[in-house]
Amino acid sequence: MHRAHHAPNAVQLSTLVSIKTGGCPEDCGYCPQAARYHTGVDNQDMLDVDAVVSAARAAQDAGATRFCMGAAWRGPKARDLPPVLEMVARVKALGLQTCVTLGMLKDGQAQALRDAGLDYYNHNLDTAPDFYGQIITTREYDDRLATLARVRDAGIHVCCGGIVGMGETRAHRAALIAQLASLDPYPESVPINHLVQVAGTPLHDVLHGQSALDPLEFVRTVAAARIAMPKAKVRLSAGRRELGDAVQALCFLAGANSIFYGDRLLTTGNPDVAADRALFDRLGLMPEA
């Protein structure tokens, strides 16, 4: 299935930068940026536009072709959007694909982002509909679907996936993939995250720091995403460092063809650029041009 739709050894490289860290009012049980949890992540001001553009230029020099900007908001307020629009326009001018994840969007905001040059909007479903309420209570599943509909209506590509290893069952993981695949059209980009447990978050306390998922079950989730959404970029996202090289190699064999690239993912660690390049060399993979 993978080889029918993609160059077999090519991997698309994306870099993710937090442009606004901490202070989020939501209660997502996995997230260290929620204001209500004591995780050591402080509420910070939005980054300066020039600093974001410099980070994008550095990511491009390191081989990334897509630059993603994330903000810890329930959704952007009117005053938040102008600097983000400038970031999008200036990063786009570098020749990079642009992506943002800003939470829920109101009417007109997706169109403004599109007009600034946005290529992708990330808004994950996180998990299956019938497990969602055990992870998040401050927004409904339908709220997420409504934002995705606004993004589609604006003509922006969708980046949408989920998190596994939160104590869900295999049936829940299958239901997440089915929900993603049933979007019409299905997302162009599908990030599959392995839960990174952060002390102070509810999921860390429930799982007591122990992995809730067999690594091979993560590989199966990647394979299911590839089969269900054959043309999508399936991205290894959070938790790659914890998976190790061997499990990552199995994920690439199972159909993953995109990674988040760089040493940070918002507030959690990620393999550094040199480590990823070395792994690519060992596996015979190449960055997608």
pLDDT tens per residue across span 271-281: 578 888 899 99
Q: How many CB atoms within 10 Å of residue 141?
A: 17
Q: Is the pLDDT of residue 257 over 80?
A: yes
- 62 DSSP assignment: T
CA distance 64 to 15: 6
Residue with the bigger pLDDT between 33 and 93: it is 93
| pLDDT value of residue 205 | 79
Average pLDDT over residues 71-93: 94
Find out whether 172 and 180 touch, Cβ atoms under 8 Å: no
Query: Could you give the 3-state DSSP secondary structure of residue 192?
Result: strand
Residue-wise pLDDT for 121-149, tens only, equals 999 999 999 999 999 999 999 999 999 99
Would strands 258-260 and 233-236 be described as parallel, antiparallel, or unpaired? parallel
Active site residues: 24, 28, 31, 68, 99, 159, 235
User: What confidence category does residue 68 fall into, taking pLDDT thresholds of 50, 70 and 90?
Assistant: very high
| Cα 167 → chain centroid | 19
Q: How many CB atoms within 10 Å of residue 81?
A: 18
Q: Residue 243 and residue 124: Cα distance in Å, rounded?
A: 21
Provide the pLDDT confidence category of residue 263 given band limits of 50, 70 and 90: low
Per-residue pLDDT, 270: 53
> Which pTM was predicted?
0.92
Residue 80, pLDDT above cutoff 60: yes
Going from the C-alpha of 64 to that of each of 97, 107, 171, 218, 251, the distances in angstroms are 9, 31, 34, 25, 20
Confidence of residue 282 (pLDDT cuts 50, 70, 90): very high
Give all domains of the chain, ordered by start, each with its CATH number.
2-287 (3.20.20.70)
Contact 58, 96 (CB under 8 A): no
Per-residue confidence (pLDDT) for residue 43, from 0 to 100: 80
Q: At residue 268, does pLDDT exceed 90?
A: no
First to last CA, the chain: 21
What distance in Å separates the CA atoms of residue 190 and residue 160, rounded to the nearest whole number? 5
At 37 the pLDDT is 86
pLDDT (0 to 100) of residue 197:
87
Percent of the chain, pLDDT > 90? 73
Closest CA to 135 of 56, 75, 195: 195
